[in-house]
A and B are shown apart, each in its own frame.
Chain A
Amino acid sequence: MELIRGYPAYMRESIELVEKTRQRRMKEKYRTLSIEEREELLRKYHPDYKPGTKRPLKIGPSKGMIAPHEVIDLLEAHPHVMPDDINLDEIDIDVDLLIIGGGGAGMTAALWALEEGLKPEDILIVTKLRLGDSNSIMSQGGVQAADRPPDSPVRHFIDIIGGGHFANDRKLVKILTMTAPYMMAWLERLGLMFDKDEEGNMLELWGGGTSIRRMHSCKDYTGMEIVRVLRDEIRNRQVPCLEFTSAVELLTDKEEDRVVGAVLLNMESQQYYVARAKATILATGGFGRIHIQGYPTTNHYGATMDGVVLAYHVGARLRDLDATQYHPTGAAYPEQIVGLLVTEKVRGAGAQVVNRHGEQFVFPLEPRDVEAAAIIRECWERNNGVETPTGMRGVWLDTPMIEELRGKGAFKRMFPAIHKMYSRVGIDPAQDPVLVFPTLHYMNGGIIIDEKAQTTVKGLFAAGETTGGVHGKNRLMGNSILDYLVFGRIAGIHAARFAKHTSPGKPSLRHVIRYEEMLKAAGIETDRKAPVLLPDYRGERVLARRIEIL
């Protein structure tokens, strides 16, 4: 197919309509929806409400919780290791604090555990990819903190609760919003390059569902800048880290109901290690790579919900896993980048979302679930989307508006990552709009934690995307980075305190036997095992003809 500056001729025709309406639209303000209108739109068009996509969980302390089949499948699955498979008498690693996950939450926890007095050698971070490879590093648009008048933590709190459909754990939201400015100052001290004016004031932008400009950013590499600074600091402080090593099961004490470490797997040699720890933090992130409802995802390669599975094996309670976040603007064209993120900051900076006729159909900065539902309706109910050569549908994100509003060269200056991604496939987003459709983005729910980031099981802490409660049924932009900073810190501090007053446990896998008994009692017969650690994208023909010997 012949392409003209990256697009086939028929898509160019629609782009011309977008160009034609642009000057008029620049002055147009699309109205926002009321709570009732939002709820109706969600009920009809959001993927969470699609019939036949969910079922209740049959076992464990959160029995009855409704969640997508893909999630329940991993919870109603066998653990990988049984007590007879592992020699628990030999302790390979013995630490005060074991941190599972090397993204933003894990690294923040480690740094604050040091502040609390643990020595680097008392801590171990394990991560199944490399330190820092995570959803945290992929976050583009920014981080929220109510740190300038006339904004306030109270306003931030109210925005969050409304965005989360009033289902959030309010105590956690209070901590999140009241600690936010403090975390910004912490990042400044670590040497973060925030977008600032010459006086040092933060340049703050709009985000979906916020009632004031509150988004702090580092161009569209906000997550990358934070993660590489945290990683550099972890290396300066010489906190030990095992890469390409995953936790395949937690360990519980022989007598007491508490977590005392984990069974680790060296993913390259397939060897296991018994890691004993006085306190354990799950910082394992979300679930994009289990592809809920078959959606493409913005998430990193290891986002397979391992922490939720591990926590559930030891009896920790879960919440809000019925609510999945689809980011409204994933790339829908061309095929190579389908599902990758086009940051909400593009809309925060003034770009509109328009249909194939070049008309707006939704306020560009509704909360994410509402915005996503409106785009789905426009494409599949009203037939106002643009069909791609592979049969996907999408709407236009009118990126050239950024140049119109903020001057020539503004797009590349503010969005170097997005500009680069599209340049590689022959599209200039400063000149032409880009086609977008919702993409699987974030696990709104997860493991229940309290104000000390403790799960409902003693000795087990959790922080970041693997937890639930902070965001209720829908997270707003810029609150995921904030979540891992605030609760990563709290988890690090309280896990360190817990470890200081705890003696090492006597590791056992008795919870695995209990889990197997629950599966059996519920009549669940399956070959599935979890956690899955990584997705499998090998070609079908290869898999169908595979002989496993080596």
Chain B
Amino acid sequence: MPDETEGLGETVRIYIMGKEYRVPAGLTIMKAMEYAGYRFIRGAGCRGGFCGACATVYRKEGDYKIYTDLACQKTVEDGMYLVQLPFVPANKAIYDIEELKPEPNILLRFYPEIARCVSCNTCTKACPQDIEVMYAIQHALRGEIEKVANMTFDCIQCGLCTIRCPAEIPHYHVFQLARRIYGRYILKPAKHVKERIKEIESGKYDKEMEKLLTLSVEELKKIYENRGRIED
């Protein structure tokens, strides 16, 4: 590569799918690839660590390990060999949430492949969200829906666990099912929400609302300034 580092300050070498580029130090992997001339269509989503579109696999020179992270969050390091994982093939079970029951065998019924887990923990090592993925699968096997739901709450569904798994488990779909069953059938519905809906339907607020629609801005300003804070 020609030397294009003049005036850049500190730079690092990265290898994008094996090809060397020099980029300013301190950029995220995503911004470094853009600096090098890549314009993403796939492989970039929210750019804030919430969507999992930019799952990235890398190795470092002289290090046998495979590392994983999100390109929008991880800072480039000298000697990184990078490849993005723009899509993960993984089958999702189709179900009607209304017809499910929070039974111990339900996760296994929709995803029998979780029984293939060999407890190698590769999924956990691959998780950029630091979720204990392997333990969550073990809880899923035992039908402990609540544990699975809470342990996997931070899952951004990037699929890195799933693509690394020797037992070919679609972890993130299993966890989504567990969370929805937990949210629907194990967490209690809020009584105060139901009661408020009844009040609204009974017309309790209609008169006041209608009045608010017709007031002048000056009158509204007065109401706003005098509404007070309720510190309950």
Please report A residues at the B interface, Cβ cutoff 8 Å: 34-35, 129-130, 132-135, 137-138, 145-155, 157-159, 161-162, 166, 170-171, 174, 178, 181-182, 184-185, 188-194, 196, 198-202, 211-213, 218-219, 221, 223-225, 228-229, 232-233, 235-236, 238, 244, 267-268, 298, 300-301, 334-337, 340-341, 416-417, 420-421, 424-425, 534, 536-539, 541-542
Contact = CB atoms under 8 A, between A and B. Distances in A.
A166 B37 contact: no
27 contacts: A35-B224, A129-B53, A130-B45, A130-B51, A132-B51, A138-B46, A150-B230, A152-B205, A153-B200, A154-B205, A154-B208, A155-B227, A162-B221, A162-B227, A166-B217, A174-B213, A181-B193, A190-B184, A191-B184, A193-B187, A244-B42, A336-B31, A340-B48, A340-B49, A417-B49, A536-B39, A538-B35
Instruction: Sort A-B residue pairs by CB-CB distance and give the 7 closest, nearest first.
Output: A200-B188, A191-B180, A191-B184, A542-B37, A133-B45, A191-B183, A162-B224
Given A146-B196, A200-B187, A193 B220 contact: no
B125 interface: no
Nearest to B184: A191
Contacts of A130: 45, 51, 53
Contacts of A228: 157, 176
A236 B95 contact: yes
Contacts of A34: 225
Interface in B99-152: 129-130, 149
B28 interface: yes
Contacts of B197: 147, 181-182, 185
Contact of A147 (B28, B192, B213, B232): B192
Nearest to B74: A424
A538 B230 contact: no
A539 B37 contact: yes
B221 A35 contact: yes
B156 interface: yes
B183 A193 contact: yes
Contacts of B183: 188, 190-194, 229
Could you say which interface size class chain B belongs to?
35 or more
B17 interface: no
A417 B131 CA distance: 12
Contacts of B232: 150, 212-213
A211 B223 CA distance: 12
Contact of A238 (B34, B94, B129, B176): B94
B46 A300 contact: yes
Contacts of B209: 153-154, 157, 174, 178
A536 B183 CA distance: 40
A289 to B, nearest CB: 9
B41 A211 contact: no
Interface in B181-222: 181-185, 187-194, 196-197, 200, 205, 208-209, 212-213, 217, 220-221
A269 to B, nearest CB: 11
